[in-house]
Amino acid sequence: MNLTQRRSTDRLHWTVIGHSYGSLVTGMAESSQGLDVDETVLVGSPGVGVDHASDLGDGNVWVGLADWDLVGYSGWFGPNPHDRGFGATRFHTGDISGHSSYFNEGSESLRNIGLITAGYLDEVNVNDGLF
């Protein structure tokens, strides 16, 4: 088999990213439509409409929460996915603050989101914090 044939048969690494209300939309799509993704990234999430990361399918679920992100701490749409009991892998967002800074150029948050998206999971700076 040549390289072109091999690449055409390999499955791509799929990632869905949901920020803020988009994380609820992501959760609803995954739990009801069964999106076939490898990675789900949730940032600044007010909840995703399910009680546990395992309710989102078979892929890995990642979550980031910045300091002073009041939307992300709100729990408006279910349990906070950043809480340990939710079952997602939490990643560091670095020194960003507030609700709209997860994709800031040069931030640790954006670096980790990029690593997850590219499939370099062992290089993600994981948060083993207290909550």
d(CA 5, CA 91): 36
Residue 107 domain flag: yes
Give the structural domain span for 113. Answer: 13-123
Q: Pull the structure tokens for residue 15.
A: 């990632």
Q: How many domains does the chain have?
A: 1
Classify residue 129: in a domain, yes or no: no
32 within a domain of the structure (yes/no): yes
Q: Does residue 3 belong to any structural domain of this protein?
A: no
Task: Tally the residues of the chain.
Answer: 131
- Please check whether residue 61 lies inside any domain of the structure: yes
Q: Is residue 80 part of a domain?
A: yes
**Verdict on whether the full-model pTM lies above 0.85:** yes
In a domain, 75, yes or no: yes
Query: Does residue 98 sit within a domain?
Result: yes
pLDDT digits (tens, 9 = 90+) for 53-66: 999 999 999 999 99
What is the model's pLDDT at position 2? Answer: 46
- Parts of the chain with a pLDDT under 70: 1-9, 129-131
